[in-house]
Structure formats: structure tokens, C-alpha cells
Amino acid sequence: MKYESQSIAKWYWFVAMALFAVQVTVGVLAGYVYVAPNFLSELLPFNIIRMLHTNALIVWLLLGFFGAAYYLIPEESEREIYSPKLAYLQLVILVIGAGGAVVGYLFRIHEGREFLEQPLWVKLGIIVAALIFLFNISMTVLAGRKTAITNVLLLGLWGIAVFFLFSLYNPANLVLDKMYWWWVVHLWVEGVWELVMASVLAFILLKLTGVDREVVEKWLYVIVATSLFTGVLGTGHHYYWIGTPGYWQWIGSIFSSLEVIPFFAMVVFSFMMVWKGKRDHPNKAALLWSLGCAVLAFFGAGVWGFMHTLHPVNYYTHGTQVTAAHGHLAFFGAYVALNLAIMTYAFPHLLKRSPYNQVLNMASFWVMTSAMAFMTFTLTFAGAVQTHLQRVLGMNFMEVQDQLALFYWMRLGSGIVVVLGALMWLYAMLGPKAASTELAGQAAPAE
């Protein structure tokens, strides 16, 4: 760690890790409700559990992004963060907002718009925090060295803030409501978040492999160009059946089926960098998470997304467990793995240690990844069965749900394993350093 203000990242990531634990735990709870539908139905109904699961996920991922920005911008810009005080103020606002939202949800206080359930005061708090954040990092970047990594990261982070503004716009017309809702949801995860992902991945690979910056930057430009080209009009794949004009079926099908390209480019990019790399970096766990991120994002977001993005297919699969399968692996691969990668890379620096607990960390990668892959396959099979019984044969929704019980039990099992993997990872990061589990030859003393 070269710059003092990089340690701001640590505090963002501590909060992110806590919410990560909450998110996966509540996920298991939701998975249990699928097999025991009346569980907690009075105290904590399923819609609230799901709200906690999705909101905690999004907030911890965003906190991870903020932390990543505070960690990598000083190194890229070669200067301290403009104002560490503002950065901590921003964190306090976010923590109060997130805590307030959670407590509110428990008392059924929410706005009811899926994923954007936060009460208005929380949304406004998020916007204030975002403004502070953008001001802080933009001032840092403007004053320092400009690199492709910071440029793309800034573009992505500004995009996140700009598109969040559409969460305030909720027209009475349900079609328009949904149309603009996707401007937040889709243009985040299939648009500007991809820019954050590409730039953070580029930063980690640059550090881990020592490949020339010029090479990394060119890849970054190609990835950014293709993700914006496909992702923006790809929004159309959410406009098939919500009441928007029929031409969206073609626009959505064509552009969204190409959304796999940037994810494929990220796979090629990361493996090429490792292959060409001149540096044998001791942090093997960070490298594993980075490569895992690219590969899992390609399958989860790219392949599983393509599976049901063409409108003739989506006509049958829309809103079935196929969507759940895609959603789970896409978020895990693209954004969870990305955050775990940058934290795994940066924590040894932040704690001024050599990479530690790597065996446990890498084991947690394989445990979480296997369990998520199993969950994805399970939900995909469930979705295929559901599509056939419900959409093709026309069986009643609840009858079909009974037929899916076995899949839901298996999903619950894989969810529990994910929680165990997450706990392993958290222990590897936050627990005491276990010298005996170090990789051979990695015991270089901390400087």
C-alpha cells in the first residue's frame, strides 16, 4: 500500500463483508421457505426475506465497488484521495441508510417496487452519498495521472449514479413504470457495472501479471466498446411482454444475444494476461478469484443469459426458475467473485502482511463455486420442467411448484454449502493468520 488513504477501502469492505454474510444467510432462509412455505410466514413473510436477500446483495456489491475505487484510484492517479473525511462521511450515510432500510423492511415499511423498495429518505441518502463519492474520486482523478483504468472506472461509477436517478421516477402507467425501472436494473448490471468490472479486473491483472499497461488498456477499450454496444439496446430483452411496442422483441433479441461478447472478451483477456505475464505474484488466491470471475461471468451472465434471451424462447421461459438460475450465477460470477477478487488481492496490502490463509481462501473459492454451479444446474432443470408443465402443458402454477419440490430441496442444500464457503472465505480474510497453511515458498516476511 503506497498511499495512506487507500485504507479507506478497508472500512467499506468490512461493512460489505458483514452484508455478504447477511445476504447469503437470508438466502438460505428464502431457500427453506421454498420447501416449507409457511415457515416464518407471519413474522417475516417471503417477500420481505427476498427483499433482504436482494437488497443486501446489491448494497454490499456497491460498497465493494466503492472500496475498490478508494483502493485503486490512489495507486492509478498516484496521489491521495481528495478528502478521506468525505469518504468516511459517505460510508456513515450509506450504513445509516442500509440499516434504516433493513429495520424498515422488518416492519413492512417499503415502497414495494422490486429491488427499489428503499423508502424515499434512503434513496435520497444514497444519492447524497453518491454525489459525495463522485465529487471525491473525480477530484482525485482530475488532479492526478489519468489512465484507461481510472477513466473507465469513473465512467462506470458516474453511470451507476445517473441511472439510479430513474429510481425516483415512478409513473402511474405500469408499462412506463417497468420501462424506466429497467433503466436502473438492466443498465446497471448489464451496462455500467460491466465497466466497473472490466476496469477492476484490469487493475488486478495488471498488478498480478505485470503485463504492459498498453496491452491491458487496449483490451479494456475493446471490452467497454462491446459491452456498451450490446448492453444498451440489449435492454430491449426486458421489453418483450410488458406492454411496450412489438419491435422491441427484435431489438432485444438481436442486441442482447451479443451481450455474451464482452464477457467472452474478458475471459480471453484474463487468460491471455496470465499467459503473457512476466510476474509470478505470490497472491495465488486473488488470481484464482480473478480468473474465476471472468469464467463464471461468461457462463452465468453470457451463456445462461443467452439461453432465454431470444423472444421466441423467452415467450415460454419468462419468469420461470430459468431466470433464477441465470440471476444467481450471473451475480455470483460477475460481481460477487469480482469483489472477492479485489478484496483478496488488497487485504494483505491493507493489513501490511504477505498473502495469508491462501489455502483456505482458495478452498472457499472451490466450495462456493461448486455449490453455485450446482444451484444453477438445479434451478435450470427446475426451470425446464416448470416451462414444460406450466407453459406448454398448461398446468396450474401451484401444482407445478409441487412437482419441483425435489429441485428446491437440492437448491437449499447447495445454498447451505455456499454459506459455509462464504464463512470459510470470511475467516480466511478476517481470522488469524495460520502460518502452517501457507503455500510452500510463500512465507516471505512482511515488509
Partner 1 sequence: MTRSRTPTLTDSTIPDAAAPPADDWGPFTGLPGHPLMWVLIGSELLVFGAALLGLLGGRIADPVGFRLAQDHLDRLAGGVNTLVLLTSGLFVAIAVVRAKAARVAATRGWLAASAGLGLMFLAVKAVEYATEIGAGWGLDSGGFITLYFLITGFHALHVVMGLIILGIVARWPTAGNVATGAAFWHMVDLVWLLVFPVVYLVR
Cβ distance to partner 1 smaller for residue 42 or 280 = 280
State the first-to-last Cα distance of the chain, in angstroms, to the nearest integer.
11
Handedness of CA 288, 293, 295, 296 (dihedral sign): positive
Binding map of partner 1 across residues 206-245, x = CB under 8 A, - = no contact: -xx-x-xxxx--x--xx--xx--xx--------------x
Q: What residues between 39 and 78 interact with partner 1 by CB under 8 A? A: 75
Q: Which of 107, 112, 280, 392 binds partner 1 (CB under 8 A)?
A: 280
| Coil, helix or strand at residue 170 | coil
Smallest gap from residue 260 Cβ to partner 1 (A): 11
Would you state the cell numbers that stand for residue 411, as one nine-digit string? 437448491
* 343, 429 Cβ separation under 8 angstroms: yes
The angle formed by the CA atoms of residues 315, 319 and 325, to the nearest 5 degrees, is 115
Give the separation between CA 227 and CA 203, rounded to whole angstroms: 18
* 167, 187 Cβ separation under 8 angstroms: no
Residue 258 interacting with partner 1 (CB under 8 A): yes
Smallest gap from residue 352 Cβ to partner 1 (A): 8
Half-sphere exposure of 255 (CA within 13 A, CB side): 22
| Coil, helix or strand at residue 104 | helix
Of 320, 292, 347, nearest in space to 68 by CA = 347
Residue 176 interacting with partner 1 (CB under 8 A): no
Residue 315 interacting with partner 1 (CB under 8 A): no
Smallest gap from residue 277 Cβ to partner 1 (A): 8
Residue 257 interacting with partner 1 (CB under 8 A): yes
Cβ distance to partner 1 smaller for residue 339 or 354 = 354
* 285, 355 Cβ separation under 8 angstroms: yes
Smallest gap from residue 254 Cβ to partner 1 (A): 5
Cβ distance to partner 1 smaller for residue 249 or 386 = 249
Smallest gap from residue 441 Cβ to partner 1 (A): 7
Residues near partner 1 (CB under 8 A) are: 1-2, 75, 207-208, 210, 212-215, 218, 221-222, 225-226, 229-230, 245-247, 250-251, 253-255, 257-258, 261, 276, 278-282, 348-349, 354, 441-442, 444, 446-447
